[in-house]
Structure 1
Amino acid sequence: MAKYTVLGLSGSLRKGSTNTMLLREAARLFGDCDFDLADLRLPLYNGDDEAANGVPDAVQALSDDIRAADAVIISTPEYNKGPSGVLKNALDWVSRTKNRPWNGKPVAVMSAAAGRAGGERAQMVLRGFMVPFRPVILQGPEIHLADSGNQFDANGQLTSEIYVRELTTLMQSLRALTDR
């Protein structure tokens, strides 16, 4: 078994974010890998700023990290029936870089939210956002972590056998896709 580099993108900047916790749990279930959490604290995209100053170093670093990763896992909260602005801004900025980091990249998407649908709508919209970048997005199982604030133990591990089973299956599929 090869040791892979896996990059996580959390659509939440909040300390104690359940989306970030879900990414860490996904990486654990992926198996032996070097996991890194991307920093999405980027300036808001503005074409005038880009024209005057070019792509910010932090954006280029994120793009380079995506390109270098063997696989990417994205988790988004649901804000007003869509992904977070933080995540959308990062995707918009990375689309402005020259190295097409997403092209052919194995990607798993998931969501964690307080509501009973677990961010299902946000995840659906996120999948649409990714289409122009041409990654290879796993289609399932879909992970929509509902009531996310009550789904982790003190060590940050999922407590529900159903979610653990489904996330394990998704990560096994991501590993198999990365093995190709």
Structure 2
Amino acid sequence: MKITILSGATRESSHSTSIAKRLEKKFYEIQEDLDIVLIDNRKLRLPVYDNFENLTNEEKDRLDAISGTFFSSDALIIVSPEYNGGMAGGLKNTLDYFRKEYEWRPMGLVSVTSGTLGGQNAMNQMAAFASYVGACLAPTRLMVSQVQEVVNHPHSAESVRFEKNAEKFCSDLLRFAQIIKNGMLNYSLVK
């Protein structure tokens, strides 16, 4: 099974990217034979979404590669920090370049915040986006509160809570993606 994790942060010292890497590790702990691709939005540096005519050939090539990765994935996970009460603007810009890649794609959502509410506003925006583009939104979502504690103090109560919640999130997402994959295979056989 192929899983793509898109870390949506744009700041250089991103805790969200640390969380994305920990999720990657957690997936491998649960199931060793996975193919996981981690896309770091900080490295993409895509221009503000306008249209494809204004893109350089290099930018078009990067977008084609990402599109291919999304299409070949059995599930897509989006990790977003909460910036000013919403999902990261740079992440939304990256997501806007694609559309068909999301249709019927199992999608897991992760919000990250330094506060105590787990990035609820970012989560709500991501869920609305996933619904709008026709993704299959996984029922289990991961909201990471007090991310500095989780990243910097691995034995803290927040970090222990994260590990427990991350394991459930990853296990549930794998199960959900397998159900969707099997269902889609059966559906295509019926058509």
- 1:12 Cα deviation from its structure 2 partner: 0.6
Output one character per residue of 1:38-94: Cα deviation in whole Å (capped at 9) or x when no partner: 2432111113xx245598222222111111112111110111111111110011111
Q: Show the counterpart of 2:105.
A: 105
Report the structure number with the largest CA radius of gyration: 2
Output one character per residue of 1:78-123: Cα deviation in whole Å (capped at 9) or x when no partner: 111111111100111113xxxx111111111011111221211111
Q: Which amino acid in the other structure matches residue 27 of structure 1?
A: E
Ranges in structure 2 where 5+ consecutive residues have no aligned partner: 180-191
- 1:16 Cα deviation from its structure 2 partner: 3.9
**Larger deviation: 110-119 or 24-33?**
24-33
Secondary structure of residue in 1 paired with 2:49: coil
After superposition, the Cα gap between the structure-2 partners of 1:16 and 1:34, relative to the gap in structure 1 and judged at 3 Å, is farther
Q: Show the counterpart of 1:121.
A: 121
Inter-partner Cα distance in structure 1 for 2:13 and 2:25: 17
- Determine which structure has greater relative contact order: mean sequence separation of CA pairs < 8 Å that are 6+ residues apart, divided by chain length: 1
Q: Show the counterpart of 1:75.
A: 79
Give the aligned length: 168
8 A contact 2:77–2:109 mirrored in 1:
yes
8 A contact 2:16–2:80 mirrored in 1:
yes
Using the size of structure 2 for normalisation, the TM-score is: 0.78
Q: Show the counterpart of 2:185.
A: none
Within 5 Å, which residues of 2 pair with 1:1-180? 4-31=1-28, 32=32, 33-40=34-41, 41-47=45-51, 50-51=52-53, 56-95=60-99, 100-140=100-140, 142-153=141-152, 160-180=159-179
* CA RMSD in angstroms, aligned pairs only: 2.2
Output one character per residue of 1:98-154: Cα deviation in whole Å (capped at 9) or x when no partner: xx11111111101111122121111111111122221111122x3221111121258
Identity in percent: 24
Inter-partner Cα distance in structure 2 for 1:172 and 1:52: 41
Q: Which of the pair is proportionally richer in helix?
A: 2
Inter-partner Cα distance in structure 1 for 2:65 and 2:136: 22
Inter-partner Cα distance in structure 2 for 1:26 and 1:53: 32
8 A contact 1:6–1:34 mirrored in 2:
yes
Ranges in structure 1 where 5+ consecutive residues have no aligned partner: none
8 A contact 1:8–1:37 mirrored in 2:
yes
